Copies of this chain bind each other. A is one copy, B any other.
């Protein structure tokens, strides 16, 4: 049962709606907000004046074009960058990149650390995250949220890292541990979900309510946007596209099972195949981007084994997308990351396989986009996740908790 709705909720949602409209538009006059939100002028006036009073928004310096029209000029308001800030951390293989962003999403400070993720203890891993966050926070008092993206499987509540290829430890409780230290909400998220979130912010035209972002690197990850929402599993972050079954009882996967898509399309799998190794050989721990580039060049210049390896990878991905499309059809598809450097070889194989599936009946029409760099996307996704979280959970509810309390106290003491 959802529970009833009161005035408080109504105001909260309308406030959040206004904030969201301004966040999307960048700058916005009250009249425009009214049009965007379908609320009346008077309501917008009231909400906007509250938000300005609370310093969540501020009047925008009249930027560029004042088209010199007749009538009272619109005064644009915008998010106040100092209203809040958030820390975004991305933990991936041998790398920790963190950033402090202001309330508008602009990066204030950045910090990158190399480490050997496979060799580091669970304690150290969490300590490293904590010290990075601490140094970014410094003595700021307006940091309201931390978002930690990790390569791997997280729980659906955003508390823990359940399993990851980058560390031998399971159930790493980043969320609770860091919340304890900093007294802030900490959200742990799968990196591919953050990529999907970022893409939607970058280009809402192309990446609208439905699309899938597939990250091709060591492992295969996926972020799925369905009906305008990030799709997550019921217990875990879900969307483990790389571990759908491609060949029952097939090649050995890094996860220890057999026949996963990743066991054909992960960089280690391509490397294994191209070097003529057995599909049951233990995956190598790390494949350098340069090696993969070289392999792609081999394939292009006619090396049969290399070509075959990429074809097999493309086939696995294509059939996988086909199975995914049988369940839900999230066109377009975006391929992200290192794997995109070989897209000229992969894409034909993907489309060939896709065309042979029920889900991919109109395979020709399915747009497949590419994005080379995943790290900036992950960070931007974290930032927007943190900030919209602040919008909805903190700035949405009217900031009158104290005022209200004060008022009722006043009333009582007067009476």
Contact = CB atoms under 8 A, between A and B. Distances in A.
Nearest to A262: B358
Nearest to A37: B4
A118 interface: no
A415 interface: no
Contacts of A1: 17, 20-21, 36-38
A359 B17 contact: no
A356 B258 CA distance: 7
A348 interface: no
A244 interface: yes
Interface in A1-20: 1-7, 9-10, 13-14, 17, 20
A353 interface: yes
Contacts of A83: none
Nearest to A257: B358
A238 B329 contact: yes
A10 B364 CA distance: 46
A326 interface: yes
Contacts of A326: 240-241, 243-245
A235 interface: yes
A29 to B, nearest CB: 16
A227 interface: yes
Interface residues of A, number: 61
Interface in A230-250: 231, 233-236, 238-241, 243-249
Contact of A328 (B3, B5, B14, B238): B238
A4 B246 contact: no
A234 B257 contact: no
A253 interface: yes
B245 A322 contact: yes
A343 interface: no
Contacts of A4: 13-14, 17, 37-39, 43
Contacts of A224: 327
A409 interface: no
A227 B248 CA distance: 29
Contacts of A5: 5, 9-10, 13-14
Contacts of A324: 327
Interface string A105-117: 0000000000000
A330 B17 contact: no
Contact of A234 (B14, B235, B329): B329
Contacts of A357: 243, 245, 257
A379 interface: no
A396 to B, nearest CB: 12
Contacts of A6: 10
A16 B39 CA distance: 23
Contacts of A358: 240, 243, 253, 255, 257, 260
Given A4-B38, A258-B356, 17 more contacts: A1-B17, A1-B20, A1-B21, A3-B38, A4-B17, A4-B39, A10-B10, A234-B330, A236-B329, A238-B327, A239-B328, A240-B359, A244-B327, A248-B315, A248-B319, A248-B353, A255-B358
